[in-house]
């Protein structure tokens, strides 16, 4: 057991390292995760035997719940609303057209069985939200014509449609099919999925706004559990669990909630972990030695999907809206395949439906092709099509973006001999770009003006712009022992180095902001800032 835990930890750490490395060399991180899984797998160096598709299907299905939820939760509806109609058409009609085109290609050109052809088309018909989100954020791709929001909504909402098509085709291939059942399946999947997602979002919002959790962080645990509820409840009554999860995410993510940014960042991290898990499992399940057997068919499908099927569906939907050709070309190129296609391929593998060809390894190849070619070149293609908008901020398309200027507040105590005591605010020489915003006087809270006189005992609150980037500062505490050479020394006489500064002294219950003449005493606690 201990060995397995250590192995899991090692894999996660390796994935994190590869994520950092992939960002520097420009290779999509998901490709690195798949290759790492192959390295650990049966055909790899470590030769870990793992071919349990049933367990992999369950693990990946649960992982996809959080990827779907974050697809909605992280999207700003304010930015997405103008292009929502186009995006929804791409995520529904576009998925159907892509699946149909690929299916017909497999049937007529590659001579696959008809329903097996349709199955391959259904499995790879959706685009990957996590990949799109990751590339837009990491490469800061600010795109013209609100294209970023269109891609986010499309990629976040098209997995449920692809899932429904996959389930329909598998049901037909298994022989359990009738016209009435098909109609009811489509109705229940869509209607129950939307209703349950909206209900879960309403209840969650009500709880988060009205209930004060006893411990910080419990609101995150609550939202985490409600994402699971949205999927499970919809699935129990015949609805589309992934659609329900997405609807709950996009409604909940666009409400005014406490700790909104921390929630988004939490699910960003969870989604990253789920991607690592899914793509590592994919690599672990894969047999690279099998790829040469399917490379001709898989490459043909990947090329057709990328350069024919996806552009045909995009142009068929966006041309009536008179979207610029260069926008349609970029949207066509941005159809990255990823986690959902993997999960659906595993579902097809464990299904009782018979398939003549190795659908799983065909999808592996297509996903590898997509994320390595399309993902790597997305920024380049956007630049070539003149789709980069230098005046916009792609972060506005995410729900954790704030239009408010970041401001930090600091508190200063005005003591009896303080230089500000007895002075009017307009007489105080303060630092530039710092504003005195509040005076706390006993139980009173005063909004000051220039004639407000500061009295001994007042506590004033100052505001200043917070840094917009991570500064890499480290805070450490040092306790001054009885025999320390620091006892009796002034702050000015300390030799800490150019990159260190004493921020404050803790002396019993007292907190002191020091200056050069402040003397250090025994048992003082020095809080030191270091680069």
Is the same domain home to 384 and 414? no
Position 116 scores a pLDDT of 92
Q: Would you place residue 117 in the very low, low, confident or very high pLDDT band (cuts 50, 70, 90)?
A: very high
pLDDT tens, position by position, 78-108 = 777 888 899 899 999 999 999 999 999 999 9
Tell me the percentage of the chain whose pLDDT exceeds 90: 22
Is the same domain home to 480 and 462? no
Question: Greater confidence, 152 or 179?
Answer: 152
Residue 17 falls inside a structural domain? yes
CATH number at residue 419: 3.30.70.1450
Mean pLDDT, to the nearest integer, of 510-525? 81
Position 361 scores a pLDDT of 87
Total count of domains within the chain: 3
Position 332 scores a pLDDT of 94
Is the same domain home to 365 and 461? no
Is the same domain home to 333 and 409? no
Ranking 252-261, 426-435, 486-495 by mean pLDDT, the lowest is 426-435
Calpha distance 306→245 (Å, rounded): 28
Position 110 scores a pLDDT of 93
Is the same domain home to 354 and 476? no
Q: Would you place residue 405 in the very low, low, confident or very high pLDDT band (cuts 50, 70, 90)?
A: very low
**Among 368, 391, 414, where does a domain finish?**
391
Mean pLDDT, to the nearest integer, of 31-59? 77
Calpha distance 249→66 (Å, rounded): 9
Helix-helix angle 359-369:339-350, to 10 degrees: 170
Q: What is the mean pLDDT of the chain?
A: 82
Residue 398 falls inside a structural domain? no
**Among 391, 417, 436, where does a domain finish?**
391
Is the same domain home to 88 and 212? yes
Mean pLDDT, to the nearest integer, of 66-74? 84
Is the same domain home to 226 and 365? yes
Residue 386 falls inside a structural domain? yes
Residue 459: which H helix or E strand, with range?
strand 459-465
Position 393 scores a pLDDT of 59
Mean pLDDT, to the nearest integer, of 197-226? 86
Is the same domain home to 460 and 510? no
Residue 464: which H helix or E strand, with range?
strand 459-465
Position 272 scores a pLDDT of 77
Is the same domain home to 452 and 428? yes
pLDDT tens, position by position, 294-323 = 899 999 999 999 999 999 999 999 999 999
Q: Which domain holds residue 417?
A: 404-469
CATH number at residue 148: 1.20.1530.20
Over the range 350-365, which residues count as b (16 or more CB within 10 Å of their CB) and which as e?
A: ebebebebbbbbbbbb
Residue 238 neighbours by CB under 8 Å, 6+ apart = 185, 188, 189, 192
Mean pLDDT, to the nearest integer, of 363-380? 86
Helix-helix angle 260-285:129-138, to 10 degrees: 120
Residue 477 pLDDT > 50: yes
Calpha distance 364→288 (Å, rounded): 10
**Among 469, 490, 515, where does a domain finish?**
469
Residue 182 falls inside a structural domain? yes
Position 26 scores a pLDDT of 47
Residue 80 falls inside a structural domain? yes
Residue 50 falls inside a structural domain? no
Residue 72 falls inside a structural domain? yes
Residue 522 pLDDT > 70: yes
Is the same domain home to 342 and 259? yes
Position 475 scores a pLDDT of 64
Calpha distance 268→262 (Å, rounded): 10
Residue 531 pLDDT > 70: no
Residue 425 falls inside a structural domain? yes
Ranking 116-125, 231-240, 405-414, 508-517 by mean pLDDT, the lowest is 405-414
What pTM was estimated for this model as a whole? 0.70
Is the same domain home to 6 and 122? yes
SS3 readout for 228-294: HHHHHHHHHCCCCHHHHHHHHHHHHHCCCCCCHHHHHHHHHHHHHHHHHHHHHHHHHHCCHHHHHHH
Is the same domain home to 436 and 520? no
């Amino acid at each position: 057991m201990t060995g397995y835990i250590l192995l899991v930890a090692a894999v996660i750490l390796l994935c994190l390292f590869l994520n950092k490395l992939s960002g520097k060399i420009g290779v999509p991180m998901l490709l690195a995760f798949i290759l790492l899984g192959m390295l650990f797998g049966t055909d790899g160096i470590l030769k870990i035997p793992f071919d349990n598709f049933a367990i992999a299907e369950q693990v990946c299905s649960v992982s996809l719940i959080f990827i779907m939820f974050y697809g909605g939760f992280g999207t700003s509806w304010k930015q997405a609303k103008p292009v929502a109609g186009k995006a929804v058409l791409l995520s529904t009609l576009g998925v159907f057209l892509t699946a149909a085109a690929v299916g017909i290609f497999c049937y007529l050109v590659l001579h696959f069985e008809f329903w097996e052809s349709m199955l391959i088309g259904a499995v790879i018909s959706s685009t990957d939200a996590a990949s799109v989100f990751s590339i837009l954020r990491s490469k800061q791709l600010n795109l013209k014509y609100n294209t970023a929001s269109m891609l986010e909504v499309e990629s976040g909402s098209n997995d449920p449609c692809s899932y429904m098509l996959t389930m329909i085709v598998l049901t037909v291939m298994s022989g359990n099919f009738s016209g009435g059942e098909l109609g009811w399946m489509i109705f229940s999947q869509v209607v129950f999925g939307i209703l349950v997602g909206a209900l879960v979002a309403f209840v969650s919002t009500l709880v988060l706004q009205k209930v004060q959790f006893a411990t910080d962080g419990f609101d995150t645990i609550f939202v985490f559990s409600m994402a699971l509820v949205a999927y499970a409840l919809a699935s129990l009554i015949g609805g589309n669990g992934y659609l329900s999860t997405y609807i709950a995410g996009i409604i909940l993510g666009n409400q005014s909630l406490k700790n909104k940014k921390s929630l988004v960042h939490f699910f960003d991290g969870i989604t990253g972990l789920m991607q690592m898990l899914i793509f590592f499992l994919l690599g672990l399940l894969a047999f690279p030695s099998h790829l040469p057997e399917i490379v001709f068919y898989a490459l043909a499908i990947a090329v057709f999907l990328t350069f024919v099927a996806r552009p045909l569906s995009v142009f068929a939907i966006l041309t009536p809206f008179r979207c610029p050709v260069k926008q349609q070309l970029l949207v066509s190129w941005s159809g990255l395949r990823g986690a959902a296609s993997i999960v659906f391929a595993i579902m097809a593998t464990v299904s009782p439906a018979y398939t003549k060809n190795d659908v799983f390894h065909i999808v592996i190849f297509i996903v590898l092709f997509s994320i390595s070619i399309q993902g790597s070149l997305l920024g380049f293609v956007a630049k070539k099509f003149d789709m980069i908008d230098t005046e916009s901020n792609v972060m506005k398309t995410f729900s954790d973006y704030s239009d408010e200027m970041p401001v930090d507040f600091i508190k200063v105590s005005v003591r009896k001999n303080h230089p500000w005591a007895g002075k009017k605010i307009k007489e105080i020489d303060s630092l530039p770009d710092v504003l005195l915003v509040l005076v706390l006087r006993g139980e009173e809270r005063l909004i000051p003006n220039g004639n407000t006189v500061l009295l001994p005992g007042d506590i004033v609150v100052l505001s200043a712009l917070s840094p917009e980037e991570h500064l890499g500062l480290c805070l450490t505490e040092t306790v001054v022992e009885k025999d320390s050479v620091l006892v009796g020394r002034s702050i000015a006489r300390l030799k800490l180095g150019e990159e260190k500064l004493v921020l404050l002294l803790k002396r019993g219950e007292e907190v002191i902001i020091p200056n050069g003449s402040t003397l250090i005493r025994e048992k003082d606690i020095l809080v030191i800032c270091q680069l």
